[in-house]
Amino acid sequence: MNPAMSRSSDWIRILASLSLILSIGLVRAEPLSIPIGLISAERAEYIPLSSLEPRIEDEGLEGARQGILDNNTTGRFTGQSFDLLPVTLTSDQSPSDVVRDLIQRGVRLFLVDLPAADLLELADLPEAGDALLFNIGAMDDDLRTQGCRSNLLHTVPSRAMRADALAQYLAWKRWMRWFLVVGPLPEDRAFGAAIERAAKRFGAKIVVQKPWTFKAGASRTDSGHFNEQQLANSFTQVEDYDILLVADEADAFGAYLNYRTYRPRPIGGTQGLVATAWSGVTEQWGATQFQRRFLERTGRFMTPRDYAAWLAVRSIGEAATRTQTGEVSRLRQYLLGPDFKLAAFKGVPLSFRDWNGQMRQPILIVSPRILVSVSPQEGFLHQFSTLDTLGYDRPETECSIR
pLDDT recorded at residue 3:
46
Which pLDDT band, with edges at 50, 70 and 90, does 341 fall under? very high
Q: Is a pLDDT exceeding 90 seen at residue 4?
A: no
Q: Is a pLDDT exceeding 90 seen at residue 326?
A: yes
pLDDT recorded at residue 314:
98
Same domain, 266 and 292: no
Question: Among the three residues 271, 292, 323, which one is the final residue of a domain in this structure?
Answer: 271
CA-nearest of 40, 94, 34 to 62 is: 40
Question: Among the three residues 361, 377, 393, which one is the final residue of a domain in this structure?
Answer: 361
Give the pLDDT confidence of 255-306 residue by residue, as tens digits: 999 999 999 999 999 999 999 999 999 999 999 999 999 999 999 999 999 9
Same domain, 206 and 125: no
Confirm whether 386 is domain-assigned: no
Same domain, 165 and 153: no
Please give the average per-residue pLDDT across 222-236, as a whole number. Answer: 78
pLDDT recorded at residue 226:
61
Query: Residue 277 in contact with residue 156, Cβ under 8 Å?
Result: yes
Confirm whether 373 is domain-assigned: no
Same domain, 153 and 30: yes
Confirm whether 370 is domain-assigned: no
Same domain, 142 and 284: yes
Q: Is a pLDDT exceeding 90 seen at residue 43?
A: no
Confirm whether 20 is domain-assigned: no
Give the pLDDT confidence of 57-78 residue by residue, as tens digits: 899 999 999 999 999 999 999 9
| DSSP string over 16-30 | HHHHHHHHHHHH-SS
Show the domain range for 212. 161-271
Q: Is a pLDDT exceeding 90 seen at residue 26?
A: no
Same domain, 47 and 150: yes
| DSSP string over 267-287 | EEESSSEEEES--TT--TTTH
Q: Is a pLDDT exceeding 80 seen at residue 343?
A: yes
CA distances 70 to 110, 166, 344, Å, are 18, 31, 12
Which pLDDT band, with edges at 50, 70 and 90, does 225 fall under? low
Query: Residue 54 in contact with residue 295, Cβ under 8 Å?
Result: no
Domain containing residue 99: CATH number = 3.40.50.2300
Same domain, 204 and 298: no
Which pLDDT band, with edges at 50, 70 and 90, does 52 fall under? confident
Q: Which residues contact 43 (CB under 8 A, 6 or more apart)?
A: none
Question: Among the three residues 212, 238, 271, which one is the final residue of a domain in this structure?
Answer: 271
CA atoms within 13 A on the CB side of 386: 14
Same domain, 217 and 232: yes
pLDDT recorded at residue 223:
47
**Percent of the chain with pLDDT strictly greater than 90:** 82
Which pLDDT band, with edges at 50, 70 and 90, does 402 fall under? confident
pLDDT recorded at residue 106:
96
pLDDT recorded at residue 156:
98
3-state secondary structure 331-345: HHHHHCCCCCCECCC
Please give the average per-residue pLDDT across 10-23, as a whole number. Answer: 52
Report the alpha-carbon distance of residue 208 to residue 201 in Å, rounded.
Answer: 18
Confirm whether 310 is domain-assigned: yes
Measure the N-to-C terminal CA separation of the chain; round to a whole number of Å. Answer: 43
Q: Is a pLDDT exceeding 70 seen at residue 11?
A: no
Mean pLDDT, the chain, whole residue set:
91
Residues 82-99, buried b or exposed e (16+ Cβ, 10 A)?
bebebbebeeeeebeebb
Please give the average per-residue pLDDT across 92-114, as a whole number. Answer: 97
CA-nearest of 254, 274, 245 to 162 is: 274
Confirm whether 68 is domain-assigned: yes
Same domain, 261 and 308: no
Task: Report helix, strand or coil for 70.
Answer: helix
Q: Is a pLDDT exceeding 70 seen at residue 25?
A: no
Which pLDDT band, with edges at 50, 70 and 90, does 183 fall under? very high
Q: Which amino acid is at 355?
A: W
Confirm whether 8 is domain-assigned: no
Confirm whether 37 is domain-assigned: yes
Question: Of the ranges 24-28, 130-134, 209-213, 264-268, which one carries the lowest mean pLDDT score?
Answer: 24-28
Which pLDDT band, with edges at 50, 70 and 90, does 29 fall under? low
Partners of 178 in the beta sheet? 206, 243
pLDDT recorded at residue 312:
98
Same domain, 195 and 182: yes
Task: Report helix, strand or coil for 132.
Answer: strand
Same domain, 182 and 262: yes
Number of structural domains in the chain: 2
Task: Report helix, strand or coil for 360.
Answer: strand
Which pLDDT band, with edges at 50, 70 and 90, does 103 fall under? very high
Residues 141-176, buried b or exposed e (16+ Cβ, 10 A)?
bebbbebbbebbbbbbbbbbbbbbbbbbbbbbeebb
Same domain, 187 and 263: yes
Q: Is a pLDDT exceeding 60 seen at residue 109?
A: yes
Please give the average per-residue pLDDT across 41-53, as a whole number. Answer: 77
